[in-house]
Amino acid sequence: MAPSAIVELHSNSGDWDKIVAEIVKLERKIFPKHESLATFFDQELRKKNSGLLYLDVDGEIIGYVMYSWPSSLYASITKLAVKEQWRRQGHGEILLKAAIEKCRTRKVARILLHVDPTRTPALTLYKKRGFQVDALIEGYYSSDRNAYRMYLDLDDAN
């Protein structure tokens, strides 16, 4: 496996525009238009209560995780994506673990996320890291696509 590094994107980063543009390209490729944050990704990232980690392998961004902490009670993982050719190699888990640790530093009690129940690899990953299904939200993504709301209580996090 090529050497990789988890990198935290900071708004004062000299290469902010380049990195955000690359992540937006990934976002557009991976997520359906109505689920994509591509059109306002930059705005979302500049909010004081949000963060982004990306996985760099030999200068290539192969995946990212976006998270936020809307309140002192909980954090939310809003996006987790890995380029198709890099999937099923542990990169998603590396990103998820890093995001959980970042959320832990915010001293929140719980992390929430939503996932399409038909996205078995994602569901399996979240369950492996200790997330539990809280509820089925009908029509979450679109009229015919539901989501599981999942949570991880940080007291129990592995």
Specify the CATH number of the domain 4-153. 3.40.630.30
- The closest alpha carbon to 83, from 44, 54, 103, 123, belongs to 54
Question: What is d(CA 23, CA 9) in angstroms, rounded to the nearest whole number?
Answer: 11
Helical H runs in 5-156?
A: 16-30, 41-46, 91-105, 120-128
Tokens of 146: 């539901």
- pTM comes to 0.85
CA–CA gap between residue 2 and residue 139 (Å, rounded): 40
Q: What is the pLDDT of residue 1?
A: 44
Residue 45: per-residue pLDDT: 73
Can you tell me the distance from the alpha carbon of 16 to that of 69, in angstroms, rounded to the nearest whole number? Answer: 21
At 27, the pLDDT band (50, 70, 90 cuts) reads confident
Angstrom distance (rounded) from CA 75 to CA 148: 16
Q: In what order do the strands lie in the sheet with 132-142?
A: 4-8, 50-57, 60-68, 74-82, 110-115, 145-153, 132-142
Q: Show me where the domains of the chain are located.
A: 4-153
Read off the pLDDT of each residue in 105-132 and give the average, rounded to a whole number: 93
By CB atoms closer than 10 A (0-12, 13-18, 19+), residue 150 is buried
pLDDT in tens, 32-83: 776 666 666 677 777 788 888 999 888 889 999 999 998 888 999 999 999 9
**Please, are residues 79 and 27 in contact by the beta-carbon 8 Å criterion?**
yes
Eight-class DSSP state of 34: G
| Number of residues assigned to the chain | 158
